[in-house]
Amino acid sequence: MALGIHPTQFASHMCSLFTTPEIFATYVKLAHEYHVPFLSVRGSPLASSQAGVTEKDVVLDAVITAAAETPRDKWQAFYLDAIANLKPGLYEIIVHLGHHDAELQAITVDHGPLGSAGRQRYTAVTASPEFRNAAQPPHVSPVTWTRLPQP
């Protein structure tokens, strides 16, 4: 923040901040101190404690992401089905976007489906007319973290 970087939200890469109640509580405390919304999922077994979460905090109803065992050629169907079956609530859709180029290939060695080819596939899925149409009103009202209430 001192360098002029102002995060729009706090998140936990690979759920690493959800492993113990103490780490999760520190994550929440820092989000509150800096008035930044943070990723927390209602009833999630990943967050070993909801310590520090208040009624003013934005808590997601669920996170939607294709599981590692979802075949890559089924990702679009997975996301379209997930969107079509959303109940009223607040959700985050996680995708890993990227371009299948030499730079991404070099930094995603041994990443399996999340390597550069997989990230290009995610980009194609989310750029498809089918996905874009599915993720629009009236069924879905896309929001960004900056449009959510700040703690």
Q: Evaluate if residue 125 carries a pLDDT over 60.
A: yes
Is pTM beyond 0.75? Reply is yes
Query: Please, which residues have CB within 8 angstroms of residue 23's CB and are 6 or more apart in sequence?
Result: 16, 17
DSSP label of 134 = H
Q: Out of 34-38, 51-55, 65-69, 94-98, which region has the weakest mean confidence (pLDDT)?
A: 51-55
Q: Is the pLDDT of residue 121 over 90?
A: yes
**pLDDT at residue 129, rounded to an integer:** 97
Of 2-11, 37-46, 105-114, which range is least confident?
37-46
Report which residue type is found at 79: Y
Q: Which carries the bigger pLDDT value, residue 50 or residue 134?
A: 134
Q: Which residues contact 62 (CB under 8 A, 6 or more apart)?
A: 41, 42, 89, 91
- The 10s digit of each residue's pLDDT in 19-56 is 888 888 899 999 999 988 888 888 776 554 577 888 88
- Structure tokens of 8? 């729009």
- Of the candidates 63, 85, 66, the one whose C-alpha atom is nearest the C-alpha of residue 75 is 66
Residue 9's alpha-carbon distances to 31, 48, 57, 85, 105, in angstroms, are 8, 20, 12, 26, 28
The whole-angstrom separation of Cα 41 and Cα 5 is: 26
pLDDT of residue 98: 94
Instruction: State the pLDDT at residue 46.
Output: 58
